[in-house]
Structure 1
Amino acid sequence: MIRISTIFVGICMVLIAASLGAVLHMVAKVSGYEATIVSLAALTIMILYNAVSLRIKDRAEASGQISDLSRGTTDLARQVAEYGRRLAALEAKLNASNTAQQDRIQGVMGEIGELGSMMRQLANSVAAHDDILSAPPAPAPVPVAFAPPAPPVKVVHTPPEMPLAVDVAEDTVSPANVPVIIVPPKTDAQFVNTIRRAITENRIDIYLQPVVTLPQRKVRFYEAISRLRDDKDQIILADDFIGPAEEAGFMQEIDHSVLLRSMQVLRRLMVRNKDVGVFCNVAKSTLSDPTAFAQFIDFLDANRALAPSFILEFKHSTFRHLGVVESEHLAALAQRGYRFSIDHVTDLRIEPRELADRGVRFIKVPAALLLDPKQASLSDIHAADLSDLLGRFGIDLIADHIEGERAVVDLLDFDVRFGQGFLFAAPRPLRPETPAANGTAANPASASSNKASTGTVSPARSASATPRGEQPRSGGLAALARRATGPN
């Protein structure tokens, strides 16, 4: 773009040339033609002079810029050389530091190797002593199909800093009045009548077995286990009466009674600990019967506030053979916020994505099944990776039927977070609250009616630690040593 100063200079030169021509024509009496030629010549000379002066000025400015650029390049080269020198010094220091660090690491690794060998020797010694101490004595002969149950217990309200536990009742149980567990034939019509009378007279007992965290063994959940009593107060296990009861159509009534009692137990447990939960078993017949399920879901809907801590438990075979009605009922429970658990797992062919979509959050697998090396070839995943796989879909793995310390040590290598079994505690019965406890007389019918209407449990003194001798302590030391050193 032409600058204003250039335009002004051009106008001035034209005016000067015109003025010169006019002066020559008017004063010197030069002809107009000659005056014009002189004016044009003067204008040309001025234009050439201006152009030459501008060119000289531009060259001087360009020379100055080149000098400045040369000085800047020199300074930049000097700075780059300085940075290169500093970088070389840092690399030398880093190499020296790495060499010294490697020497220190080698020394520490040698010391760790020596400590590892010493720990292996210690673990072997502790394991040998544990094997000697944990050797069971010869069992006394007992009648076939008869076994004494655990003494009656009741739920305890412990302080917030102590884990909730079940406490042995203060009543002493003499050998004469110990109830006997009977194993009846599955097709006996008389046994079906016994079940009917037990339901009618409300002889349905609730047993609680804790589910603990591993390896801390802190009580996190309780499983409500149902058992029946016949006319002679002999105990009938769930595995024995569930089959005949489902065939006779009694499981709906049993499940409803167990559901009521389990919810009341959960309310009492949550008074002191909001993190506790209860597993309640539900039969497939209850899930598939629309009439029974309507009452079932009405009760659960009324107690929706406890849904996060109340887990409904089903058999694995039930989930594998779900029909349209069962799937709709499960979806209705999941919509109300209830979570599901699966037990009676017989193999490790588990589809975690499908189970998680249906609302399953817990899977109970027997410890013997997890530790069975044959399952690696029969399933799509190794048992050691099962807990991690289930965890990706929000499902927790619970190892049940744990009966020995060695199983706990092996399960810790499988990253199992929860455990259940006789090693931690046997199922303990709840003591129902009767009017006699309040100082009033009550006949058996009124006591049964009270249990049916309230289903509450009486508080008892804390006895969270049941004496088991010194065997668990030695087993725990062995487990800790094996856990710290790993396999030999």
Structure 2
Amino acid sequence: MIRISTIFVAICMVLVAASLGMVLYAMAGISGSESAIVALTALTFMILYNAVSIRLRDRSEAGSQITDLSRGTADLARQVAEFGRRLAAVEGKVVSVNSTSQDRIQSVIGEINELGTLVKQLASSVATHEDMLSAPPQLVPVTTAAPAISPPAPMPARDMPTQAPDIRPERLLSVAGAEAGTLAASTPVALASTTASSRNAAQLAAVVRSAIAESRIDIYLQPMVTLPQRKVRFYEAMTRLRDDKDQVIVADEFIDAAETSGLMGQIDHTVMLRCMQVLRRLMVRNKDVGVFCNVAASTLSHAATFADCIDFLEANRALAPSFVLEFKQSTFRNLGPIESEHLAALAQRGYRFSIDHVTDLRIEPRELADRGVRFIKVPAALLLDPQQNSNTDIHPADLSDLLGRFGIDLIAERIEGERAVVDLLDFDVRFGQGFLFAAPRPLRPETPVTGNLPATPDKASQSSNGSVRPARNEPPKNDPPRTTGNAALARRATTGPN
């Protein structure tokens, strides 16, 4: 496209040539044809001059651009050369580092092989000694008359079961006053359990209905402690009913009758209310404490009952991080569409779940974590059972680490001996619960939570699954011999993976 300046120059040259011709025609007396020739000649010279000047100017500009381009190309070449030099230096360093790393890895592999040989030798020695210790002693035949066998001496006082330690700095819940502080001596739990088991389903349903109507629903609290510090971190609320004679009925005995009669929802709603009150009082003194509240499967599946519970939980969702809803393992394995929807509604409101009554270790942690499960309670006897090594895909010693990768904490329950605690520490279990630490203690509706109950089990208390706890004056049970955690690790090192 022709530039405006070029057009303007052309017009000016035409005007100058025409003006020259008119001046020569008017002033010099030259004829019109001659003045036109002169004007045309002047215009031609001006056009030639303009073209030559433009060509010279363009050539000078092109030369300067070429010079600038060559200068930039030289700078780029210098930069590329510098980058090449630096890249060569980096490659040299990488090669030297790789060679050094290979040397170190080879030395570490050699040390690991030596350690493996030593561990196998140690494992063989330990297994041999353990087999010698666990083998029954051989009886030596006696030819003479056997001496009279005297009756066994009574157990020394030092071998009797001692009082469970007082868990500090957080001491357990207490019930103020003698009326609500301990179980009445006239109504032992063993007698209550025997009486309740003698009732049929209809009588149990009537007792449950009467207990609900007359507010004879009791809450028992049992602490869960951290291991090995034994610091109280959570409390589990256990439901007990009392009949018209104040005999205690444990959960395992009245749940079936309550679910058949459609009364389990009312019991769970009452227990949630009481647990929330307990949690509020506990959090006044300690913000890190939590309460586990058991919920039945029938409550989760019944739409009307669940609506009342979720309305209450929605009103108290500020305490959701410290209020854990606990379900049975069978409940989670048999979730239907309605139960899954209700469970998701609770998870959306920030509530966390726990699984108890675990009967086997076939656990899918990813699926449970997606549903909102944050705790799994496994009996200590199940974790320490050697048969679980062959019945599950993962060794029980690795279960805590596997669950921890999905944000789930493992709680060992029903711990009743110090030896079990030592073995569980080898399994990296963080929380424990059982009569070794404290027995479930009753909490009355009218009793304030003061937080200074000694962690001492009663003489006749019941475990979380409803079994009767032996009296304090009975001798302790002799645990069957089993492989300890270190010996089991040594044996696995010797035999190798299955």
TM norm structure 2: 0.59
Is 1:221 aligned with 2:234?
yes
- Which residue, 190, 196, 200 being the options, matches 1:181? 190
SS at match of 1:49: helix
CA–CA separation in structure 1 for the residues paired with 2:337 and 2:75: 84
Q: What is the aligned partner in structure 2 of residue 425 from structure 1?
A: 437
What displacement does 1:241 show? 5.1
Letter paired with 1:454: E
Letter paired with 2:236: E
CA–CA separation in structure 2 for the residues paired with 1:301 and 1:70: 76
CA–CA separation in structure 1 for the residues paired with 2:72 and 2:307: 89
Q: What is the aligned partner in structure 2 of residue 58 from structure 1?
A: 58
- CA deviations over 1:123-160 (Å, ceiling 9, x no partner): 999999999999xxxxx9xxxxxxx999899x98x6xx
CA–CA separation in structure 2 for the residues paired with 1:409 and 1:356: 24
Q: What is the aligned partner in structure 2 of residue 408 from structure 1?
A: 424
Please, which runs of 5 or more residues in structure 1 have no aligned partner?
135-139, 141-147, 433-450, 466-477
CA–CA separation in structure 1 for the residues paired with 2:56 and 2:338: 101
- Confirm or deny: 8 A CA contact 2:326 2:354 kept in the other structure: yes
Mark the CA change 1:180 to 1:375 in structure 2 (over 3 Å): closer, same or farther.
Answer: same
Counterparts of 1:248-397 in structure 2, within 5 Å, are: 262-283=275-296, 306-317=319-330, 340-346=353-359, 362-366=375-379, 372-373=388-389, 375-376=391-392
- CA deviations over 1:210-238 (Å, ceiling 9, x no partner): 23446765432111234568999987654
Letter paired with 1:81: A
Letter paired with 1:364: K
Mark the CA change 1:229 to 1:99 in structure 2 (over 3 Å): closer, same or farther.
Answer: same
CA–CA separation in structure 2 for the residues paired with 1:329 and 1:252: 14
Letter paired with 2:437: A
CA–CA separation in structure 2 for the residues paired with 1:292 and 1:7: 94
Mark the CA change 1:25 to 1:305 in structure 2 (over 3 Å): closer, same or farther.
Answer: closer
SS at match of 1:35: helix
Counterparts of 1:123-202 in structure 2, within 5 Å, are: 162-165=169-172, 179=188, 181-182=190-191, 184=194, 188-189=198-199, 196=207
Q: What is the aligned partner in structure 2 of residue 89 from structure 1?
A: 89
SS at match of 1:270: helix
Mark the CA change 1:242 to 1:201 in structure 2 (over 3 Å): closer, same or farther.
Answer: same
Counterparts of 1:23-42 in structure 2, within 5 Å, are: 24-26=24-26, 29-42=29-42
Q: What is the aligned partner in structure 1 of residue 80 from structure 2?
A: 80
Q: What is the aligned partner in structure 2 of residue 444 from structure 1?
A: none
Mark the CA change 1:152 to 1:252 in structure 2 (over 3 Å): closer, same or farther.
Answer: farther
CA–CA separation in structure 2 for the residues paired with 1:306 and 1:68: 73
CA–CA separation in structure 1 for the residues paired with 2:310 and 2:204: 28
What displacement does 1:40 show? 1.6
Mark the CA change 1:185 to 1:125 in structure 2 (over 3 Å): closer, same or farther.
Answer: farther
What displacement does 1:310 show? 3.4
CA–CA separation in structure 1 for the residues paired with 2:360 and 2:129: 35
TM norm structure 1: 0.60
CA–CA separation in structure 2 for the residues paired with 1:333 and 1:256: 15
Counterparts of 1:463-478 in structure 2, within 5 Å, are: none
SS at match of 2:194: coil
CA–CA separation in structure 2 for the residues paired with 1:43 and 1:408: 112
What displacement does 1:454 show? 0.7
Mark the CA change 1:8 to 1:235 in structure 2 (over 3 Å): closer, same or farther.
Answer: closer
- CA deviations over 1:86-121 (Å, ceiling 9, x no partner): 432343344334434544555566566667777888
Letter paired with 1:31: S
Q: Which moved more, 1:59-68 or 1:281-290?
A: 281-290
Letter paired with 2:232: V
Mark the CA change 1:455 to 1:333 in structure 2 (over 3 Å): closer, same or farther.
Answer: farther
What displacement does 1:186 show? 7.3
What displacement does 1:278 show? 1.9
Is 1:454 aligned with 2:456?
no
Letter paired with 2:446: T
Q: What is the aligned partner in structure 2 of residue 47 from structure 1?
A: 47
CA–CA separation in structure 2 for the residues paired with 1:296 and 1:76: 74
Mark the CA change 1:348 to 1:232 in structure 2 (over 3 Å): closer, same or farther.
Answer: same
Identical pairs, percent? 61
Q: What is the aligned partner in structure 1 of residue 479 from structure 2?
A: none
Mark the CA change 1:44 to 1:337 in structure 2 (over 3 Å): closer, same or farther.
Answer: closer
What displacement does 1:7 show? 4.7
What displacement does 1:208 show? 3.0
Aligned length: 429
Is 1:18 aligned with 2:39?
no
- Confirm or deny: 8 A CA contact 1:375 1:382 kept in the other structure: no
- CA deviations over 1:307-354 (Å, ceiling 9, x no partner): 543334344445666799989987997788765544324456778899
CA–CA separation in structure 1 for the residues paired with 2:171 and 2:198: 40
- Confirm or deny: 8 A CA contact 1:205 1:429 kept in the other structure: no
SS at match of 1:278: strand
Letter paired with 1:91: E
Mark the CA change 1:123 to 1:14 in structure 2 (over 3 Å): closer, same or farther.
Answer: same
